[in-house]
Amino acid sequence: MNFDLSEDQAAIRDMARDFAAEKLAPHALEWDETKRFPIPTLREAAALGMGGVYIRDDVGGSGLGRLDATLIFEALATGCPTIAAYISIHNMCAWMIDAYGSDEQRRKWLPALCSMETLASYCLTEPGAGSDAAALRTRAERDGDDYVLTGQKQFISGAGNPHDFYVVMARTSDDGAKGVSTIVVPGGTEGLSFGANEKKMGWNAQPTRAVMFDKCRVPVANRIGPEGIGFKIAMAGLDGGRLNIAACSLGGAQAALDKTIAYMGERKAFGKRLDEFQALQFKLADMAIELEAARTFLWRAAAALDAKSPDATRLCAMAKKFTTDTGFAVANAALQLHGGYGYLADYGIEKIVRDLRVHQILEGTNEIMRMIVARGLVGR
């Protein structure tokens, strides 16, 4: 197995890293403080092909693979994990349409998604159905050529912006996980409304709201795939989403480590630079080793997903758990090495810590990742 990046992959990574340095990093603290969702910047990223990373090119996508995507999202997260993570979620929604939608649906919706003229939100979680996603209650009742949706989704990233688009998992029958279907609800649909923007620990530069459906009517033609495969679509989307969010953890943690190395080369204590103390050098070495191990694991899982390997779901769960735990631990250690300055907003470390904490929860909690792995081991 060759772990060297091709010239094209290195160029893709460098392009995303340059964009992060020029367009994200200089504004990340301001966006966090003001809770600004920088839609024009998202569209600049889309103009470089990052609105449809692994979408087929006949509808404006970049046609790249999952390993390529991990390179992009890690690079973007060095500038701002919050924005990188939203772009990841948007890509996951677009992929679900590209993979399971009809040709008519793909041509109708994907060009605007790839350009990020339209911004997508993934609507699975509900107030009473988080980890137990198959227990969702939002219903889509058939009424002639329409579905009428009633229910509520919770913790929906990107919800309520003026250019919104919702990929919704709704119950079309009472047959458990087999009774869930995937339905697109465009922004502005009558009966669609939103809760207040949630006050969060991190991820402040992207809105997070409840999404409510009150007799919300959409055409049956907005259903992706046949009835009853929505849970399958949702879980397939999450395989890639877990890789992407793990990559965002890597990028944020790498940025925290880089900031820490620079800081320790300047700060002095007891007459020596901090990076001259062997104990602190060893701490930096451990952080770098942990990130490299996580990166290697992530690439292994991405390669398995690209190859459609039968163990891809298990490896994606493993990589998500390991990499998001590692990313948070490294960012937290970086804050500690900054001492009191790390606790101040000016240095940007505390923002990375706040942003990365939720990665251990979303796209399936890390406890659920353990369940996926354990069931594969014990055959249940």
The SS3 call for residue 370 is helix
For position 178, which CATH number holds? Answer: 2.40.110.10
Segment 229-274, tens digit of pLDDT: 999 999 999 999 999 999 999 999 999 999 999 999 999 999 999 9
Q: Residue 247 domain-assigned?
A: yes
Cβ atoms 334, 260 nearer than 8 A: yes
Dihedral, CA of residue 50, residue 160, residue 78 and residue 239, to nearest 10: -70
List the alpha helices (DSSP H) in 135-201. Answer: none
Output the average pLDDT for the chain.
Answer: 95
The residue out of 173, 201, 230 marking a domain boundary is: 230
Total domain count for the chain? Answer: 3
Same domain for 62 and 171: no
Dihedral pair phi/psi, residue 133, rounded to 5°: -65, -30
Q: Is 363 a catalytic residue?
A: yes
Q: What is the pLDDT of residue 128?
A: 85
Same domain for 356 and 271: yes
Query: Is residue 177 predicted with pLDDT exceeding 90?
Result: no
Q: What is the pLDDT of residue 1?
A: 64
Domain membership of residue 222 as a residue range: 120-230
Q: Which residue has the higher pLDDT, 174 or 15?
A: 15
Q: Residue 2 domain-assigned?
A: no
Q: What is the pLDDT of residue 129?
A: 80
Query: Is residue 147 predicted with pLDDT exceeding 70?
Result: yes
The SS3 call for residue 265 is helix
Q: What is the pLDDT of residue 134?
A: 74
Quick one: which H or E segment has residue 123? Answer: strand 119-123
Cβ atoms 116, 83 nearer than 8 A: no
Same domain for 373 and 236: yes
Q: Residue 33 domain-assigned?
A: yes
Query: Is residue 56 predicted with pLDDT exceeding 70?
Result: yes
Q: Crossing angle for the helix pair 66-77 and 81-100, nearest 10 degrees?
A: 160
Q: What is the pLDDT of residue 105?
A: 98
Separation CA 81–CA 31 (nearest Å): 12
Separation CA 357–CA 340 (nearest Å): 20
Same domain for 101 and 127: no
Q: Which amino acid is at 374?
A: A
Catalytic residue among 74, 227, 350, 363: 363
The residue out of 177, 208, 230 marking a domain boundary is: 230
Q: What is the pLDDT of residue 79?
A: 98
- The pLDDT-based confidence of 320 (bands split at 50, 70, 90) is very high
Segment 292-311, tens digit of pLDDT: 999 999 999 999 999 999 99
Question: Which residue from 62, 63, 27 is spatially nearest to 47, judged by alpha carbons?
Answer: 62
Query: Average pLDDT for residues 41-46, to the nearest whole number?
Result: 98
Query: Is residue 133 predicted with pLDDT exceeding 80?
Result: no
- CA atoms within 13 A of residue 362's CA, in its CB half-sphere: 28
